[in-house]
């Protein structure tokens, strides 16, 4: 058995242990961000945290038609990135905003990792609600609503983390409406292509990131 297959077997059979380790990792990051002495250092590790999350999800993915799934995730990355570029430069799509420096390398004033954030959220929310027995329409709406709730919390701490900031004092309602509609469109695409995402660690990864933003909001506020 190759090293990759051995690692993948661990991620498929030891998911509780992986989830606990992930929770510890994000807890350390949370404490580091809350302490003034280490705040700037841990904020710079934001792209690393996203990379670790993506790696965990990739190694624990059990979806069928993985080629089609990867192609669609790439599609989400490209489309969402171009939407964000247009949003930053026009202010028409989400409202007037600009990106900070803690999301890594930028192209056209937009961090390259932002498209990955979109497909991460689509992937995890789809995996979570795919396990339910709800009708496809309700799966789409529930997953999109989960993405919206995630964004509402994340928006409150994003400026403090130097991820992005709004020109207005409050986040425009337009941002949330557009975010939800784009999320619905991406989830409809999954159903139209008949892609069923299966990942036992999707909930743990999403909860770790959501809890991090929630606690940052509660303590920093």
pLDDT in tens, 171-205: 889 999 999 999 999 999 999 999 999 999 999 99
Quick check: helix, strand or coil at residue 146? helix
Q: Could you tell me which residues are beta bridge partners of residue 97? A: 166
Burial class (CB in 10 A: 0-12, 13-18, 19+), 56: buried
Q: Residue 8's pLDDT band (boundaries 50, 70, 90)?
A: confident
Residue corresponding to tokens 């930053």: 88
Q: Residue 221's pLDDT band (boundaries 50, 70, 90)?
A: low
**Is pLDDT above 60 for 61?**
yes
C-alpha 17, offset from chain centre: 22
Closest CA to 60 of 91, 17, 27: 17
Give the C-alpha distances (Å, rounded to integers) separating 95 from 82, 115, 153, 179, 198.
Answer: 15, 18, 17, 11, 34
Is pTM beyond 0.95? Reply is no
The region of weakest confidence among 36-40, 152-156, 178-182, 187-191 is 36-40
In this prediction, residues 59-77 reach a mean pLDDT of 91
Contact between 108 and 189 (Cβ < 8 Å): no
Closest CA to 69 of 59, 81, 61: 61
pLDDT, position 1: 54
DSSP 100: -
Query: How far is residue 67's CA from residue 93's CA, in Å, rounded to a whole number?
Result: 31
**Is pLDDT above 80 for 46?**
no
Domains of the chain: which residue ranges? 3-220
Report the mean per-residue pLDDT for the chain: 88
pLDDT, position 93: 92
């Amino acid at each position: 058995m190759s090293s990759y297959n051995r690692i993948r077997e661990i991620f498929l059979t030891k998911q509780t242990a992986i989830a606990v380790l992930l929770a510890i990792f994000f807890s350390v990051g949370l404490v580091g961000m809350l302490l003034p002495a280490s705040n700037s250092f841990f904020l710079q590790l934001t792209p690393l945290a996203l990379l670790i999350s993506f790696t965990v999800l990739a190694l624990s993915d059990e979806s069928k038609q993985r080629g089609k799934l990867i192609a669609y995730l790439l599609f989400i990355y490209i489309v969402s990135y171009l939407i964000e570029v247009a949003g930053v430069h026009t202010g028409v799509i989400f409202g007037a905003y600009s990106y900070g420096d803690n999301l890594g390398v930028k192209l056209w004033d937009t961090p390259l990792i932002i498209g990955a954030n979109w497909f991460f959220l689509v992937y995890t929310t789809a995996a979570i609600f795919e396990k339910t027995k709800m009708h496809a329409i309700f799966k789409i709406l529930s997953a999109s609503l989960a993405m919206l709730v995630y964004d509402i919390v994340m928006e409150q701490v994003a400026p403090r983390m130097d991820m992005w900031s709004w020109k207005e004092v409050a986040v425009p309602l337009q941002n949330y409406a557009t975010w939800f509609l784009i999320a619905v469109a991406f989830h409809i695409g999954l159903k139209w292509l008949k892609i069923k995402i299966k990942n036992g660690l999707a909930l743990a990864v999403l909860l770790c990131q959501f809890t991090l933003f929630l606690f940052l909001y509660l303590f920093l506020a």
